[in-house]
Amino acid sequence: MVSKAQPDDAGGKEPRGQWNSRIGYILAMVGSAVGLGNIVRFPFVTSSNGGGVFVLIYLIAVLLIGIPMVLAELTLGRRSKRNVVDTFRNLGNRRWALLGLFFIFFNVYIMAWYSVIGGWTLIYLLDGFSNAYFADPTSFFSAVTEGPRALLFHAIFISIAIGIVAGGVSEGIEPAVIILMPLLILVMVGLAIYGITLDGAGEGLSFYLQPDLSDVSGGTIVAAVGQAFFSMSIGFGALLTYASYMSRDSDLNEDGVTVGLSDTGVALLAGFVMFPLLGVIGILGTAAVAEGGIGVAFLSLPVAFGTIGGTLGTGVAVGFFFLLFAAALSSAISLLEVGVGWLTDRGYARWKSALVLGLLMYCLGIAMAFSSPILDLAAGALTDVFVIFGALIIAVFLGWYYERYLDEDPGEEMDRGAGSIRLGRASYFMIKWIIPAVLVVLLSLAVLNVAGVEVMSGA
């Protein structure tokens, strides 16, 4: 990912790495953004929140809140050239650094469930060879996604991520993203076109595309903003960490917009794959969630593989899950790198840092590998709380404290190095006056939502 140490132009003591090339870091950021969030979590939250209306609010959230927040996070990382905790210490003070520690905690938490689902992609990849889930996707899903096998593959997934991060975020990510990401998109376009021709697909499409405004509630907005943040990797310190390896005159506007829009494109495409297929099996909306929880995508996809049939069906299944696994892995690497970047900056060996954090993530994931209700809560409503909180810290810091501490205009800093796209001023306005207020309200709703879910599942 990054070349060997370069002098640190932020005035720090330690020499730090830099990205080898602009395309390299854009690809790594796209690799971080595009993952299980787009292909697994997006269909799940769309199903639980009324379909089309959720998609509409999601798109508004991406444009008005997501893009300014991407820019904010990148700006902080590029300015400080430090890991997330020390960014808050260096640009702010020790109290802010304590808040920075929350990001390490979020990442451990998120990775716990992320790796459990990453493990499922491996199970589906291997069992695709024997067409094990083509005939009865629902029974297969409940048999393998909860229990010892899920735990084993959680362990395998996290070990692979630890191995890659321990070796230094690999040079391999760039070529992998260049080749595998377009292939994933190609296979998804093929599946979407195929799925739409099947009987019953129309119902799925209209669930996905026709907004019914009477369905909107506070919960819909929480879920849409939470999903936009999660999918674009906002509020974790991951973009911040990657941006800390950039030079100060890189064009954050163009890069941020590229990452944000490509991520959103892949999520929308995933909807075009999943919803027609869910329509074919006749489980849309909350019915789909009742059957599959966060795994609704794993119920719909086999429909396509099964009806394609033969060697081609097997090949598409195996190929798809391989590509999904790769996309999940490139996101997982960036999640793990946040904590590892912090520990290595504190002088710990990279492999030790990756191992210790990875083990914590593994342990936290054990309960989730054994209980789908716990997993659904952890990956759904509770994740919304964390990402909204993470984004709020970043927004308040940039909007209200940056100028005070550094005596620099954050809007100008955002636009430093920008070409024709200059969103710094408008983003700063949003981040100062609108976004924190919106996020405080949404955070309160998100917390209530979690309490509600617990009451329901305890009933």
Q: How far is the CB of 202 from ligand PHE (least distance, A)?
A: 28
Q: From CA 21, how far away is CA 160, in angstroms rounded?
A: 26
> What is the C-alpha R_g of the chain?
21
Q: Residue 418, interface with ligand PHE (CB under 6 A)?
A: no
Nearest CB to ligand PHE, comparing residues 24 and 424: 24
Sole binder of ligand PHE in the list 236, 298, 325, 386 (CB under 6 A): 236
Q: From CA 238, how far away is CA 5, in angstroms rounded?
A: 20
Q: How far is the CB of 338 from ligand PHE (least distance, A)?
A: 7
Q: How far is the CB of 276 from ligand PHE (least distance, A)?
A: 22
Q: From CA 337, how far away is CA 33, in angstroms rounded?
A: 14
Token pair for residue 100? 């920075």
Q: How far is the CB of 236 from ligand PHE (least distance, A)?
A: 4
Residue 311: count other Cβ atoms within 10 Å of its Cβ: 8
> Nearest to residue 336, comparing CAs of 356, 357, 351?
357
Q: From CA 347, how far away is CA 85, in angstroms rounded?
A: 14
Q: How far is CA 448 from CA 48, 136, 218, in A?
A: 17, 37, 11
Residue 351: count other Cβ atoms within 10 Å of its Cβ: 16
Q: For tokens 């026709």, name the residue.
A: 210
2 DSSP β-pair partners: 19
Sole binder of ligand PHE in the list 26, 29, 31, 37 (CB under 6 A): 37
User: By beta-carbon distance, which residue lies closest to ligand PHE?
Assistant: 37
Q: How far is the CB of 237 from ligand PHE (least distance, A)?
A: 8
Sole binder of ligand PHE in the list 180, 201, 238, 299 (CB under 6 A): 238
Nearest CB to ligand PHE, comparing residues 38 and 262: 38
Q: From CA 390, how far away is CA 433, in angstroms rounded?
A: 18
Specify the stretch interacting with ligand PHE by CB under 6 A; choose among 5-13, 28-36, 115-123, 395-403.
28-36
Sole binder of ligand PHE in the list 33, 104, 284, 439 (CB under 6 A): 33
Specify the stretch interacting with ligand PHE by CB under 6 A; choose among 156-164, 240-248, 329-337, 429-437.
329-337
Q: From CA 163, how far away is CA 336, in angstroms rounded?
A: 11
Nearest CB to ligand PHE, comparing residues 39 and 125: 39
Nearest CB to ligand PHE, comparing residues 205 and 378: 378
Please report, as residue ranges, which positions from 211 to 230 form the binding site for ligand PHE (by CB under 6 A): 230
Please report, as residue ranges, which positions from 70 to 129 form the binding site for ligand PHE (by CB under 6 A): none
Q: From CA 256, how far away is CA 225, in angstroms rounded?
A: 17
Token pair for residue 349? 């060996």
Nearest CB to ligand PHE, comparing residues 231 and 353: 231
Nearest CB to ligand PHE, comparing residues 387 and 418: 387
Nearest CB to ligand PHE, comparing residues 37 and 436: 37
What residues contact 31, with CB distance under 8 A and at least 6 apart? 173, 176, 177, 181, 327, 330, 331, 333, 334
Q: How far is the CB of 35 from ligand PHE (least distance, A)?
A: 3
Q: Residue 32, interface with ligand PHE (CB under 6 A)?
A: yes
Sole binder of ligand PHE in the list 24, 35, 51, 390 (CB under 6 A): 35
Q: Residue 335, interface with ligand PHE (CB under 6 A)?
A: yes
Sole binder of ligand PHE in the list 47, 87, 231, 353 (CB under 6 A): 231
Q: From CA 286, how far away is CA 125, in angstroms rounded?
A: 27
Amino acid identity of residue 295, one-letter, is G
Q: Are 427 and 68 in contact (CB under 8 A)?
A: yes
Q: Half-sphere exposure (CA, 13 Å, Cβ side) for 214? A: 0
> Nearest to residue 391, comparing CAs of 65, 59, 36?
65
Q: How far is the CB of 334 from ligand PHE (least distance, A)?
A: 4
Q: Are 46 and 270 in contact (CB under 8 A)?
A: no
Q: How far is the CB of 139 from ligand PHE (least distance, A)?
A: 27
Nearest CB to ligand PHE, comparing residues 230 and 298: 230
Q: What is the binding site for ligand PHE (CB under 6 A)?
A: 32-33, 35-38, 230-231, 233, 236, 238, 331, 334-335
